[in-house]
C-alpha cells in the first residue's frame, strides 16, 4: 500500500499547520526485506549502531529476521511475562543498550513501542517502528502511554521516523491481538464525539479534516471485519493502515484528542487497578468494553436531554468523597487529584450550555448505538463484556463515575456531572 505522507501536512482549512514527523511508511507484504535497502538511503545510512528492542515472542516473529537483515544491529530481548510499559521495563531495556546506540527499532506491539519511544526520547535518538500485530493505534504516537509508579501517564516521547509494517508478519498475529486492534480503532467513535462536544461547549480547537480522515478509515475497516477475523491479508492491511492513520491524526493536532476519549478513560482506570483487581486483558479489549458502556450512557442521556427531562446541578468541584471512598490507593488518589488540578468543568457555564444542547444532540445522533457497536465488535471477535475482561458487573457504575477523572480532558461523560435527570 503506497502512503503519501505529504497529503497529511498539506495546508488545512482549520488554519493550523499539521506537522507529520514520519518520513516513510512501508506497508506491504515483504516490507521487512526492504530494510537493507532502506539503510542505504539518506538519511538512514548514517545510523551505524542500531539496537533492536523486542520480547522473546516478537523476536521469533520478526526480531530475528531484522537482526539477520541488519548485521550491525544489536538485539535487546525482554521477557514477555508480565511485560508492561513501566519504569521497570525501561530500566531493564536501558541497562542493555550499548553506549554507542544511535537508533532503536521497536519490534513488537503496544508495550514494546511505548518502551522504545520513551527510551529514544530520553537518549535523544530516533527509532523505527516494526509492528508485529495490528493491535493498537499508538505505533506512530508522539507520546508514550506508561504505567509509572502505578499510575497511567502520558509521558514525553518521540514518533518513529519510519514504519516497516510487513503484512506477512502482522496478518499472521494471534486473532486476539488483531481483534484488540479493531477494538482500539472502533473506540474512535466515542473519542471523536467527545472532541466535537468539547469543541461545542468550550470552543476547544477541533480540526474537521482530521475527524473526517479518522472516520473514513474507521468506516472502511467496519466493512472488512469478517475478513479481518479470518485473517485475510488485504483486510488486515486496511486495519493496520487505519491504526497508523489514527497515530498520524494525533501527530497532526499535537495530542491524543482524535483517538482517545471516555472509552480510553475506562481502560486507564482499569489498567491502574484503582478500583478493581489486576486483569489480564489487552488495552484494546478494555477499550471496546469501555466503548460500549460509554455509548450506552451517551444515548440514554441524549434521550433525556431531547425530552427536556433534566436540570443543571450546582457544580462544586471534584467528587472528593466519592474518590476517597472508591480509590484503592492513596498514591493513585493523589495522582488523580494532581491530574485534575485544572478542572475542565469549572470552565463550563450552565446558562451557556443550555443553548448548546441541540448541537450536542446532533453529535450524539451520529454515534452508533451500543447495539450496533456490539454487532460490529462481534464480527471481529472482540471482547464486549466486563466478564470477558475479568471484571465483575458491579464495577460498571463506579467506573462510569470515576473514569472521567483519569484525564483532565472534557468528555461528554464528564459533562454529564453537570446534569440531573428527572426520569
Q: Which residue has the cell 516513510?
A: 24
Number of helices (H) and strands (E), helices first, in the chain?
20, 10
Q: In the structure grid, which three cell numbers stand for residue 250, read together?
A: 494525533
pLDDT of residue 314 exceeding 80, the answer is yes
In this structure, which topology does domain 6-172 adopt according to CATH?
A: Rossmann fold (3.40.50)
| Per-residue pLDDT at 291 exceeds 70 | yes
Give the mean pLDDT of 1-14: 85
Q: Strand 103-108 relative to strand 50-55: parallel, antiparallel, unpaired?
A: parallel
Which residue in the block uniquely carries the three cell numbers 486473532?
Answer: 175
Nearby residues of 293 by Cβ (< 8 Å), 6 or more positions away? 266, 396, 399, 400
**The pLDDT value given to residue 142:** 87
Joined grid coordinates for residue 360: 450536542
For the segment 95-106, the average pLDDT, to the nearest whole number, is 97
Q: Do domains 6-172 and 177-421 have the same CATH topology?
A: no
Tell me how far apart the alpha carbons of residues 271 and 267 are, in angstroms, rounded to a whole number: 6
HEC profile of 374-394: HHHHHHCCCCCCCHHHCCCHH
Name the pairing type of β-strands 151-156 and 419-421. Answer: unpaired
Domain ranges of the chain: 6-172, 177-421
- The Cα–Cα gap between 262 and 42 comes to 42
For residue 359, which of 198, 170, 118 has the smallest C-alpha distance? 198
Helix (H), strand (E) at residue 217: helix 208-222
Residue 290 predicted with pLDDT over 80: yes
Query: pLDDT, tens digit, for every residue of 117-126?
Result: 999 999 999 9
168-193: pLDDT as tens digits: 999 999 999 999 999 999 999 999 99
Identify the residue whose cell numbers are 461547549.
201
Instruction: Scan for cell 462544586, then name that residue.
Output: 316
Give whole-number Cα distances, 35 to 32, 38, 127, 139, in Å: 6, 5, 14, 18
The pLDDT-based confidence of 268 (bands split at 50, 70, 90) is very high
pLDDT number for residue 163: 97
| 171: phi then psi, degrees, rounded to nearest 5 | -70, -20
Counting beta carbons within 10 angstroms of the beta carbon of residue 304, is it exposed (0 to 12), middle (13 to 18) or buried (19 or more)?
A: middle
Helix/strand/coil (H, E, C) string of 170-230?
Answer: HCCCCHHHHHHHHHHHHCHHHHHHHHHHHHHHHCCCCCHHHHHHHHHHHHHHHCCHHHHHC
pLDDT recorded at residue 138? 87
Cβ atoms 189, 218 nearer than 8 A = yes
Q: Which residue has the cell 502511554?
A: 145
b/e map of 365-378 (b: 16 or more CB within 10 Å)? eebbebeebbebbe
**Whether pTM exceeds 0.85:** yes
Q: What angle do CA 308, 313, 316 make, to 5 degrees?
A: 160
Q: Are 100 and 49 within 8 A, CB to CB?
A: yes
Element (H, E) at 319: none
394, 277 Cβ separation under 8 angstroms:
no
Q: How far is CA 388 from CA 225, 276, 323, 392, 393, in A?
A: 20, 15, 26, 10, 11
Which residues on adjacent β-strands are paired with residue 77? 54
What DSSP assignment string belongs to 240-264? HHHHHHHHHHHHHHTSSTTT-SHHH
Topology of the domain covering 177-421: Dehydroquinate synthase-like, alpha domain (1.20.1090)
Distances (CA, A) of 190 to 15, 144, 193, 265: 25, 21, 5, 11
pLDDT at 3 over 90: no
* 3 state SS of 25: strand
Taking the CB of residue 80, how many other CB atoms lie within 10 A of it? 15
pLDDT, tens only, 335-379: 999 999 999 999 898 889 999 999 999 999 999 999 999 999 999
Mean pLDDT of the chain: 95
User: Measured between alpha carbons, how far is 271 from 253 in angstroms, rounded to an integer?
Assistant: 26
User: What is the structure's pLDDT at 39?
Assistant: 95
Amino acid at each position: 500500500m503506497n502512503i503519501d505522507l505529504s497529503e497529511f501536512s498539506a495546508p488545512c482549512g482549520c488554519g493550523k499547520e499539521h506537522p507529520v514527523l514520519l518520513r516513510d511508511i512501508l506497508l506491504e507484504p515483504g516490507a521487512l526485506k526492504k530494510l537493507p535497502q532502506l539503510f542505504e538511503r539518506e538519511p538512514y545510512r548514517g545510523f551505524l549502531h542500531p539496537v533492536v528492542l523486542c520480547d522473546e515472542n516478537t523476536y521469533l516473529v520478526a526480531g530475528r529476521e531484522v537482526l539477520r537483515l541488519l548485521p550491525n544491529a544489536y538485539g535487546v530481548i525482554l521477557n514477555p511475562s508480565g511485560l508492561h510499559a513501566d519504569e521497570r521495563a525501561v530500566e531493564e531495556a536501558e541497562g542493555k543498550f550499548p553506549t554507542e546506540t544511535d537508533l532503536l527499532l521497536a519490534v513488537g506491539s503496544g508495550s514494546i513501542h511505548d518502551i522504545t519511544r520513551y527510551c529514544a526520547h530520553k537518549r535523544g535518538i530516533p527509532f523505527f517502528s516494526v509492528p508485529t500485530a495490528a493491535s493498537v493505534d499508538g505505533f506512530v504516537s508522539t507520546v508514550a502511554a506508561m504505567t509509572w509508579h502505578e499510575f497511567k501517564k502520558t509521558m514525553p516521547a518521540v514518533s518513529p521516523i519510519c514504519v516497516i509494517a510487513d503484512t506477512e508478519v502482522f496478518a499472521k498475529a494471534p486473532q486476539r491481538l488483531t481483534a484488540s486492534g479493531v477494538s482500539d480503532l472502533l473506540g474512535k467513535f466515542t473519542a471523536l464525539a467527545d472532541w466535537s462536544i468539547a469543541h461545542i461547549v468550550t470552543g476547544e480547537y477541533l480540526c474537521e479534516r482530521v475527524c473526517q480522515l479518522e472516520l473514513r478509515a474507521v468506516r472502511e475497516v467496519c466493512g472488512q471485519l469478517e475478513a479481518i477475523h479470518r485473517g485475510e491479508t488485504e483486510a488486515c492491511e486496511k486495519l493496520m493502515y487505519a491504526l497508523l492513520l489514527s497515530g498520524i491524526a494525533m501527530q497532526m493536532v499535537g495530542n491524543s484528542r482524535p483517538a482517545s476519549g471516555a472509552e480510553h478513560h475506562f481502560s486507564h482506570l482499569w489498567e491502574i487497578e484503582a478500583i478493581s483487581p489486576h486483569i489480564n486483558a489487552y488495552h484494546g479489549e478494555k477499550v471496546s468494553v469501555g466503548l460500549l458502556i460509554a455509548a450506552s450512557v451517551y444515548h440514554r442521556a441524549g434521550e433525556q436531554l431531547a425530552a427536556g427531562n433534566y436540570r443543571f446541578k450546582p457544580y462544586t468541584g471534584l467528587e472528593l468523597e466519592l474518590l476517597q471512598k472508591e480509590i484503592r490507593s492513596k498514591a493513585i488518589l493523589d495522582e488523580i487529584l494532581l491530574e485534575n488540578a485544572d478542572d475542565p468543568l469549572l470552565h463550563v457555564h450552565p446558562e451557556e450550555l443550555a443553548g448548546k444542547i441541540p448541537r450536542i444532540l446532533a453529535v450524539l445522533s451520529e454515534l452508533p448505538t451500543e447495539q450496533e457497536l456490539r454487532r460490529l465488535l462481534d464480527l471481529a471477535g472482540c471482547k464486549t463484556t466486563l466478564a470477558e475482561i475479568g471484571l465483575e458487573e458491579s464495577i460498571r457504575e463506579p467506573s462510569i463515575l470515576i473514569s472521567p477523572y483519569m484525564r483532565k480532558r472534557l468528555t461528554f461523560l464528564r459533562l454529564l456531572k453537570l446534569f440531573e435527570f428527572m426520569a
